Amino acid sequence: MRIFIAFSFLCLAAQFCLADTVYLKDGTKQEGKIIFQDEKVVKLEVTSGKNIGEVSFKREEIANIVIEKEDVAALTSHAFEHIAKEEFDDAISLLRRAVLLEKDSSDRHANLGFAYLLANRLKDAKSEYEKACLLSPTTGSFIASLGYVLEQLGEFEEAVSHYTKLTQVEPDSPRSHRLLASALAKNGQPVKALTEIKKALQLGSEDAQTHILASRIYQSLELGEEALGTAKKACELAPKLGEAFLNLAQIELGAGRYADSLASLDRALELNPNLKERVTELKTEAVRKAQEAASREKRSQQLAEEMKRAQEEVKEAQKLLEEALKRLDESKRKLSESLTAPPGAQEK
């Protein structure tokens, strides 16, 4: 089965010359540039006049394939030039070609995975990084990249598995334990996340992001003092990082330190105006909670005053009751005496 899709991007035509050949079982052949192949299909980019199109063949139709060799390093270099210009589709085309020429190179798959990631083609990025990890299972950067893609896909349990492997490959790296801690936290495992973030800190991490993550994990476990301490440390390590002060503001907000939170938000916005929307949201929340706290405090004071008045009233009532009981006892005593007195005793 052949499918031809025509389009006219002459800039792409300039990138490639027709070099690959697919020989079919019916005795015919098709020349072009192979841009994709798997166990089911092979796709070629072909030209027709000034048009460029795509032809697909099923594997069962193909007798043989001959791929023209090219300078893979040059392809990769051109691809990263496109990436620098955010021309991700062009970069992907070149890097897919590099993978076809060196299919057993983990670097080629990782480069293609990176381009897919930048183009937000996360499932394709995952596939390429998985291939890179299979070909080079102890390369930490490949494992970390795959873990990141899995997090972006919301596959946190699988991300935890890969980051766990990363900590085995790089046991003394603060980064590996920080990445694992982050995935564990997202996977709803804050206690295990705390263990890993502590390892990152113990390994001497002076990275603000590590302390930001630590503060959030501490806060999730209601360890307020530790959360506040690590959040402040992040600001000390990166005094020009608006995100560090934004995080501190969130920790302070959670601790009920509303005035401090508002001050930290002002600092975050001063350092990074791009945080304006988030800062505005948190300021609104801080003011609301401060007002609610003030209202609760006022109500608490009112209740305390009412309680005090009620206690005083109870004391006064008790006093009156005691006096009434005394008078009653006195009346009972006099009555008893009058009933037991001899006849005529009252006249005397």
Q: Which of 157, 119, 127, 163 is nearest to 143 (CA)?
A: 163
Q: What percent of the chain has pLDDT over 70?
A: 93
Q: Is 313 exposed, middle or buried (0-12, 13-18, 19+ CB in 10 A)?
A: exposed
Domain harbouring 58, CATH code: 2.30.30
| Residue bearing the bigger pLDDT, 287 or 37 | 287
Domain count, the chain: 1
Q: Domain range spanning residue 43?
A: 4-66
| CA gap 327, 301 in Å, rounded | 39
Asked if residue 37 belongs to a domain, the reply is yes
pLDDT of residue 323: 83
Beta bridge pairs of residue 64: 23
C-alpha pair distances (Å), 226 with each of 218, 255, 257: 6, 11, 15
Q: Is 5 exposed, middle or buried (0-12, 13-18, 19+ CB in 10 A)?
A: exposed
Q: Is the pLDDT of residue 220 over 60?
A: yes
Asked if residue 18 belongs to a domain, the reply is yes
Asked if residue 51 belongs to a domain, the reply is yes
> Which amino acid type is present at position 164?
T
> What band does 206 get if pLDDT is binned at 50, 70 and 90?
confident
Asked if residue 217 belongs to a domain, the reply is no
Asked if residue 46 belongs to a domain, the reply is yes
Asked if residue 148 belongs to a domain, the reply is no
Asked if residue 151 belongs to a domain, the reply is no
> What band does 114 get if pLDDT is binned at 50, 70 and 90?
very high
Asked if residue 153 belongs to a domain, the reply is no
CB atoms within 10 A of CB 192: 17
Backbone angles phi, psi at 20, to 5 degrees: -85, 150
Q: Is the model's pTM score more than 0.85?
A: no
Could you tell me the two tokens for 313?
A: 């009233």
